[in-house]
Amino acid sequence: MDHLMVMPHVDTRNTKGITMKDKTTFKAFRISLNVMLSQETCGYLVVLMYAGSIFEQASESISLKLSPNKQTIVVGVIQLLGSIVASCIVEQTGRKWLLAGTSLATGLSMLALGAWFYITSLNIWLPGWLPVLAMCLCIFADAAGYQPVPYVITSELFTFQHRGMVTSFVSSVDALSDFLQTKAYDPLLKLLGIHWVFIMFSIVCFLGTFYTVMWVPETKDKTVEEIYAILEDSRKKEKRKGMTDLRKEMQDLECGKEMSRL
């Protein structure tokens, strides 16, 4: 009996669809990369590195003396609480607004830390619980959304054909940014001072919030096709706006020529 070899069926329509969506896929890639870079350069690692010093300075005014082991436990508990909150509310708030809210909270806490260090450097007394509260808010907000949500968005922005490649590339960029951030921290600390370093990180967080609100689509309960349709619409609107602005400039130029002739 002859054995027939059955060739696997290749869905050419799916391949054609991916080709037609290349520009939209690249836009999704840019969004994924930007939110991940914002997450990795928000200064979260610096806060964890500086947690011991903040606890020490707080102990001078509020008698909060914690051993390094207890400090680690406190930070871990805050991260755990943030993760629990994130898992409970992410389906209600959606990815976009949870990311925007936690990045804003992280930026405010970074700004508060920078302001506290700056004001105390002027020999003005401020209560030591302020930086502790700001640090705890930063750690909580990061664990509650700013750290995990970009990974969720990245996984939901792409089909399985692109997901592995994009995730690998973005993870590599994240690791590189972590390395550069760690290496640049000491030179920036000596050059600018700790207060300006935290203020700089707060600006990164605020820019991330603005970018999320303006350009990151909501991916909750949406298929990749629906998300790409949203990205396509926004891209077409931007293109139409650009054409409208160009026509307006041409009309203004023509009017200027007519006026010069008169």
User: If you search the block for the tokens 């077409």, which residue do you land on?
Assistant: 236
pLDDT of 254 higher than 80: no
Q: How large is the C-alpha radius of gyration of the chain? A: 25
Structure tokens at 211: 């970018």
More confident residue, 105 or 53: 105
- Using alpha carbons only, what angle is made at residue 49 by residues 45 and 52, rounded to the nearest 5 degrees? 145
pLDDT for the residue numbered 14:
44
106-120, 192-206, 217-231, 243-257: the lowest-pLDDT one? 243-257
User: If you search the block for the tokens 């669809």, which residue do you land on?
Assistant: 17
Structure tokens at 87: 């898992």
Task: Please give the average per-residue pLDDT across 25-51, as a whole number.
Answer: 88
Instruction: Estimate the share of the chain in helix, then strand, then coil, as percent rounded to the nearest 5.
Output: 85, 0, 15
Q: Of all residues in the chain, what percent carry a pLDDT higher than 90?
A: 37
Q: pTM to 2 decimals? A: 0.79
| Phi, psi of 43, rounded to the nearest 5 degrees | 95, 10
Q: What is the pLDDT of residues 201-219, one digit of tens each?
A: 999 999 999 999 999 999 9
Q: What is the pLDDT of residues 151-161, one digit of tens each?
A: 999 999 988 88
Q: How many residues are given for the chain?
A: 262
pLDDT for the residue numbered 84:
94
Predicted confidence band of residue 67 (pLDDT cuts 50, 70, 90): confident
pLDDT for the residue numbered 204:
94
Q: What is the pLDDT of residues 69-117, one digit of tens each?
A: 888 888 999 999 999 999 899 889 999 999 999 999 999 999 999 999 8
